[in-house]
Structure 1
Amino acid sequence: MNDLDLDGFLPYRLNVLAKRVSKELSRRYQQAFGIAIPEWRVMAILGREQPLSSNDIVERSHMDKAKVSRAVNTLVGLGHLSRDVHPGDQRLLRLSFTPSGRDLYQRIAPLALEWEAQWLTCLQPDELAHYKALCDRLEQQLDDMGAEEA
């Protein structure tokens, strides 16, 4: 019988690491800005490109639709996002920053980058580059495996 050693099972280790990082960032964002990780992920995606629909955010974030919907509703309720009707399809809503949302994004983004830099000080530059290349390869492999199954 092949026993599964969770401490050596890479999917498990990656999940634990991701949850620990999210928990630490969530604590910081909640204390300082009153938002949780899903809200920050929506804002980070919109910080790169907007306007976007909720479906666009689901696709880019790999979060489930309900979580994105709750995060968007929270951000709209806080006055950080606006919803506008898509000019080409009245059924779609486009999300954009309000002035307060843009301000919040511009305050959080540097702190997120600063935290990441501090966290990664344990890695040498070549180790970090290698890690990023490995992540790219593993993501591509997932894409390839998904395409084979389809």
Structure 2
Amino acid sequence: MTSANQSGLTQFLTYRIHVLNKLSERGISELYQRKIGISIAEARVIAAVGAFGPFSVMELARHANLDKSQASRAAEALMRRALLQRQASRDDGRIVVVSLTPAGRALYRKIMPIARRWNDDMFAVLGEREHAQLSRLLDKVIAAARNLEVLTAQKTTKPRAKRASASTR
């Protein structure tokens, strides 16, 4: 990096992590499309449901790291292809959850080796200790980011609550 860049946008780790994410996403998206004919959003939905599901669409969005509309569109496309199925939640019949069909489970078994290989290739530049250290550091920063997200949400919802109570007086 040049000294001019060090005082600019590229000094922010969040910017550099975003660049890494975009590079990774473009590469693996191409692989998913070429090898199994699905989009990255669809692959994320299949992977999340296969690893953690079944889910409501809201939970699915969170676990697949997609916004709700992306998760919903991907889930609908996968249901049309009989890779996901919709059913009432066992815990609460009013809630609809999605789960993998047998064909969806077969696709999950194809997705995971592609994702694992991509991940391994991308991080092959790191030694074992560096990989473990980066993993620990990312866990730490992710936890801090989640806490900041909660705090920010709390701060932005409090003024609305005050305004609502003031207008009811």
For residues 1-150 of structure 1, what are the structure 2 equivalents within 5 Å? 5-149=8-152, 150=154
TM-score by length of 2: 0.80
Distance 2:150 2:85 in 1: 36
Unaligned runs of 5+ residues in structure 2 are: 1-5, 155-169
Matched residue type, 2:125: C
Distance in 2 between residues matched to 1:92 and 1:9, nearest whole Å: 41
The residue identity in structure 2 corresponding to 1:134 is: L
Deviation at 1:119, TM superposition (A): 1.8
Identity %: 32
Give 1:142 shift. Answer: 1.5
Which residue identity does 1:111 align to in structure 2?
A: I
Residues 47 and 111 in structure 2, CA contact (< 8 A), matched pair in contact too: no
Amino acid in structure 2 at the alignment position of 1:120: F
Residue 83 of structure 1: SS of its match in structure 2? strand
Cα gap change, 1:147 to 1:50, in 2 (>3 Å): closer
Higher gyration radius (CA): 2
Alpha-carbon distance in 2 for matches of 1:4, 1:74: 44
Higher mean C-alpha displacement, 22-31 vs 55-64: 55-64
Q: For residues 125 and 103 of structure 2, what CA distance do their matches in structure 1 show?
A: 35
Which ranges of structure 1 fall in alignment gaps of 5 or more residues?
Answer: none
TM-score scaled by length of structure 1 = 0.89
Which 10-residue stretch deviates more, 4-13 or 124-133?
Answer: 4-13
**What is the RMSD of the two structures over their aligned residues, measured on CA atoms?**
1.7
1:141 Cα deviation after fit = 1.4
Q: Which amino acid in structure 2 is aligned with residue 141 of structure 1?
A: A
Deviation at 1:143, TM superposition (A): 2.6
